[in-house]
Structure 1
Amino acid sequence: MSHHQIVIVGGGNAGISVAAQLLRKNSKLDIAIIDPAEKHYYQPAWTLVGGGAFDIAKTERSEASVMPKKAKWIKEAVESFSPENNTVNTTGGVYTYDYMVVCPGIQLNWSA
């Protein structure tokens, strides 16, 4: 079991932004972002893709390239949380926290 001051569930635009803002305010925070994805998609540009004004390939980056440097990236999927116990259960273990931010985003299914 590993403990962090702040655990963020989700490494999409919201999770990355929250971690970056918090670390900008206090670089000594112990922040973990839990997300198994290797790719990061800049979803706000998708409206432009739908309108034919932007290339969808330009909305994709590696997750590592957008991860805040001082955040710990836990590359696991969340199975459940237990807020009453301040725990997050993942495919790889259990993490405890002082504060949790839940922003798992959407699950992509390009073949649908």
Structure 2
Amino acid sequence: MESILGWIADNQQMIYIVILMIFVGIEVIGHVPSVLHTPLMSGANAIHGVVIIGAIIVMGKADPHNYVALILGFLAVVVGTLNVVGGFVVTDRMLEMFKGKGKKQNTSSK
């Protein structure tokens, strides 16, 4: 318990910055107009692609006996991949909403 409290005391400023980043991120994302959502989603997908590459590099350079680094790297790859794929699915669905409704093909007439 003392080691946890010591770690918190040593990294108190970093913890405050992370909490502040969470609140600022929620405010920024909450005020994004829906027109800008699709371009921002594409940018987020590109950023998460970089996260996936970084996690693969970290896993490749980690000591084979450092299980914490390997597990965290693997989780970063899995979650980043899910985020990228989910982002593309959401973007595709949003773009489908903006496509014009074409003429339906009539297959019954001859």
TM-score normalised by structure 1 residue count: 0.27
TM-score normalised by structure 2 residue count: 0.27
Greater helix fraction, Structure 1 or Structure 2: 2
Higher relative contact order (CA closer than 8 Å, sequence separation 6+): 1
Is the radius of gyration larger for structure 1 or structure 2? Answer: 2
